[in-house]
Structure 1
């Protein structure tokens, strides 16, 4: 990185932190601090909702996912528009009517205190872990690629977020997320343009799409019922709908974003804005990854994208074996460049069966060599994380962008980490204050007292998130890890809310017991890898509803027998 990159990076991040803290520094009421004074317009709500979900993991992992596996991951989001409609019709009007600070307050009114605390506790566990991961994800990748100290990066990202989130509460999160999303969109569009600009002159955008399609990267839709495949149309629409309903409807980090809306209508418009824009946004980010794949059909790429793994191998007794793989791949790469150049030279190149077959054969060989490299890495360190998807896009940024723009793209990654983490810490502090601490208070306290406690709890969760980040290990693809954690807990929580909304005969004891049993079952299904994780949302939701209804029916039958016997 050059001086210009450091200046762009530091200026961008410091402006966001200082502006957010200064703009929202004064609060006299709890509603101002926790709900932003209900002053947010629909576009602020929509951007804040989108920024909360779009963490650094989105902009690091998603392009790498597309680079290796193509566009199929976009199916994961197919259930989102459906979920937005349901939340706008059912959840938002009820939350605004009850004037709640958290989603879990409603559960005490419908059931009892222990159900509310249990659900809040499930949220605190999964979101507390996720907050650490959203800090850890960019930190471990930037540390590996740039040589920065991992623990120092965790602390810097965490402390920057804590400063303005504690200072300004919900309004600070919303205000800074507008700047952060502006930086993110600007950076991604610039990166996309530069990727296309770096292709040979004869390779137009349409031809790049054809090359990607011929390489199997543009297969968006999979209508199969293959449970070995995480991403199909059905898992996206069914499992994805339940995950998105749970996340946007019951996760306080999202609920708090639209509870800050000026009115029911403003909150609803904000969510629909997110529903309409989110799928195209994810499609575009995946397309960036596909274009990076096309770029590397004409430009050299490393055998393995994680530089820390490569450094470890090169310092071991397996260095010669790894170098031999690199030499072999260099030959394959040169042949691939020649084939791609021949295909690009004519308008009908992609219709030449022999050239296309040769291209696919070379790509298959390239993939085999990459797998052999992973085997060598594991021989050196059996605990190494050999999945290098998360390093693909950052490698492109650091090795192909002009100075100044590298700093901007790093600012994109860190801004995304900060925006998502800020929402999480804000929600964790609010839930701890309102659902756990306040309900145990036996004496009246003034507004300033609870604002102070909210700030302390937010800071506490910020420190815990930093600690989680410092002890975390990279787990497969990072964007999958966050979604797996959500899938383990979200279905159960959604089922509890659906029971509260629609199944009136079920009482608190049945729900409480059903929730505990369901959570144990879901963790077991995940641990033994019985079914793809997206389906855990549907199973958890249906299971808690059925068990609660069964327990309540048995309770009613027993109660009726007791009345008859008397």
Structure 2
């Protein structure tokens, strides 16, 4: 990157971190540290909730998902608005009434201590691992693209997050997230604008959409009843509903964001902001990826977007095979561009028959390009099984670095760092809160002073930050990153949600029954994940229903005393 880009990058990050530290220097009590003093308004809550969920993975990996597989992933969020309405009018009043610091405190008052600790433990396991992924994911890609050391990139993100999260707690997290989310949305809009601008030399925006649609990149809705398909309307509405209910209603990283509101009205409005904006935001990011595919029809793409993988292959077996595949790829790239122009002309003046023939030619040439890309991946796999094959996570960053002007590149890289920092800070803050309230204060030091709890909170925030950095160093990529995070969440969220739904709606079920129901249901989910091909969103439904059904059966066998 240029000097200007580095100035913009570090200047943006420094201002955000410095602002968060400065505005929260006076935080001296546990309520202010863990709940932000119950002073935040709906706008801050809304952007903070969105920023905690929208990690760097969202802005690196989701455009690549749109580029490679189209917009079907947006169905993952179809159940989210319904879930947020339920959380706003069922969960929030209960949490405010009990004046809890964490969602899991409620479980002890409703059930017993062991059920509370189980819920908190499941959260710590899932979110602790996820915190490592949210640091590692952008770090591995940024280090590859920018030529930075992976270790130093991980440390940069981790240390910056620890500084302002430890210093100011929940309020610092929420205040910085508000500004980080603003920078993120501006940056994405700028990138989208440049894609459309570059395409205007060849096609209009509607024509670009026609081309994307003809190549199945705008396939946002699938009504298939195939349970092995990852993304359908049904898995999105049902699985996505259960996933979002658990995430926003029982995951402390989200609960903590809206428990810091001035009152229930501010918290509800913050969630309604997300109910209205989240699906359009994900649609927009996926559309950016779909248009990137059209962009690379008219501008030369690499045969493999992760250049580091190609460099490793070249070092081990030489460049001859790489050159042959690249030559074939470039030939079909030229044919695909020509067929896209034919299709454009047919759209303007051709008959339906001419349009169909032009579309079939475009689809054929696109398949040949995909074949050459697959051939390159096969070469990489046959050379070294440790090299990452999937390159879709590098698509958006490749565009940023090669086609955006100086200064804007720095801003977009700052967007990715900001997203990594915002989601990780929310996770660390929530992990520390759960550790302090549900374990330290509950089991070790029930009558401690404010000073003691503050000190332990800061120490545990730093400790979770260090652990997250360690997890990031140990992480291994096996999926598209945005899918990896959702898979990890789906393995645990259904069970946690099931515990809470039993607490809310099945008053005669007691702690022992729901505790063992959760243990058995969690075991079932893990077994199904390892031994079946069920789409992972369904694990949210299976886990939740499993806890309820098994808990009810156990309670029937052993009725309430």
TM-score higher than 0.5 here?
yes
Distance of 1:355 and 1:530 partners within structure 2: 37
- Structure 1 equivalent of residue 240 of structure 2: 240
**Residue 343 of structure 2 contacts residue 362 of structure 2 at CA under 8 Å; is this kept in 1?**
no
Residues 1:133 and 2:133 aligned together: yes
The equivalent residue for 1:19 is 19
Task: Find the partner of 1:407 among 406, 410, 421.
Answer: 410
Residue 544 of structure 1 aligns with which residue? Answer: 547
Q: Following the alignment from structure 1 to structure 2, what is the Cα–Cα distance between the partners of residues 428 and 442?
A: 18
| Residue equivalent to 1:438 | 441
Match of 2:203 in 1: 203
- 1:442: how far off? 5.0
Q: Per-residue CA shift, 1:283-326, capped at 9, x if unaligned?
A: 00011111111101100001111111111111122531121010
Contact 1:318 1:376 in 2 (8 A): no
1:193 matched to which residue of 2?
A: 193
Q: How far, CA to CA, are the matches of 2:135 and 2:204 in structure 1?
A: 38
Q: Does 1:265 align with 2:265?
A: yes
Structure 1 residue 342: deviation in Å? 3.1
| Distance in 2 of aligned mates of 1:246 and 1:112 | 20
Contact 2:5–2:408 (CA under 8 A) maintained in structure 1: yes
* Distance in 1, Cα, partners of 2:349 & 2:169: 58
For residues 446 and 185 of structure 2, the distance between their equivalents in structure 1, rounded to whole angstroms, comes to 48
CA distance in 1, matches of 2:419, 2:65: 18
Number of residues of Structure 1 aligned to a counterpart in Structure 2 = 558
Does the Cα contact within 8 Å between 1:488 and 1:537 map onto a contact in 2?
yes
Alignment root-mean-square deviation, CA: 1.3
Deviations 1:386-410 (A, max 9, x none): 1111111011111111111111100
346, 349, 359: which one pairs with 1:356?
359
CA distance 1:70–1:113, shift in 2 (3 Å)? same
| Residues 339 and 365, structure 2, Cα contact 8 Å, conserved in 1 | no
For residue 296 of structure 1, give the secondary structure of its aligned residue in structure 2. helix
Where do residues 314-353 of structure 1 align in structure 2 (5 Å cutoff)?
Answer: 314-317=314-317, 319-345=319-345, 347-348=348-349, 352-353=355-356
Hey, what does 2:93 align to over in structure 1? 93
475, 486, 489: which is aligned to 2:489?
486
Q: 2:503 aligns with which of 500, 503, 507?
A: 500
Residue in 2 that maps onto 1:373 = 376
1:531 counterpart = 2:534: yes
Partner of residue 461, structure 2: 458
* 2:245–2:497 contact (8 Å) kept in structure 1: yes
Deviation at 1:281, TM superposition (A): 0.4
Q: 1:42-441, aligned counterparts within 5 Å?
A: 42-317=42-317, 319-345=319-345, 347-348=348-349, 352-441=355-444
Shift in Å, 1:348: 3.3
- 277-286 vs 199-208, which moves further: 199-208
CA distance in 1, matches of 2:335, 2:534: 41
Offset of residue 136 of structure 1: 0.4
Preserved contact between residue 228 and residue 533 of structure 2 (Cα < 8 Å): no
Indicate conservation of the 8 Å contact 2:202/2:298, yes or no: no
The SS at the match of 2:476 is: coil
For 2:345 and 2:513, how far apart are their aligned partners in 1? 69
Q: Distance in 2 between matches of 1:467 and 1:47?
A: 28
Secondary structure of 2:359's match?
helix
- Where structure 1 has 5 or more consecutive residues not aligned to the other structure, the ranges are 560-566
**The 10-residue stretch of structure 1 (218-227 or 314-323) with the greater mean CA deviation from structure 2:** 314-323
Change (3 A) 1:555 1:541: same
**Distance in 2 between the 1:445 and 1:26 partners?**
21
Contact 1:165–1:425 (8 Å) recurs in 2: yes
Tell me by how many angstroms 1:28 deviates.
2.4
Q: Conserved in 2, the CA contact under 8 Å of 1:318 and 1:380?
A: no
Distance, in Å, in 1 between the alignment partners of 2:194 and 2:130 is 32
| Distance across 2 between alignment mates of 1:41 and 1:433 | 25
Q: Does 1:33 align with 2:33?
A: yes
State the shift of 1:248 in Å: 0.2
Q: Deviation of residue 147 (structure 1)? A: 1.4
Separation in structure 2 between the aligned mates of residue 248 and residue 422 of structure 1, nearest angstrom: 17
Distance in structure 2 (CA, Å) of the matches to 1:399 and 1:432: 44
Shift of 1:202: 4.6
In structure 2, the CA distance between the partners of 1:323 and 1:448, relative to structure 1 (3 Å rule), is same
Aligned counterparts of 2:362 and 2:537: Cα–Cα separation in 1: 34
- What's 1:518 paired with? 521
Contact 1:79 1:238 in 2 (8 A): yes
Distance 1:167 1:406 in 2: 30
Higher mean C-alpha deviation, range 528-537 or range 108-117: 528-537
Deviation, 1:279, is 0.3
1:194 and 1:401 in contact (8 A); partners too: yes
Question: 2:33–2:170: 8 Å Cα contact kept in structure 1?
Answer: yes
Separation in structure 1 between the aligned mates of residue 313 and residue 446 of structure 2, nearest angstrom: 62
Deviations 1:353-407 (A, max 9, x none): 2221111100001111111111100111112221111111011111111111111
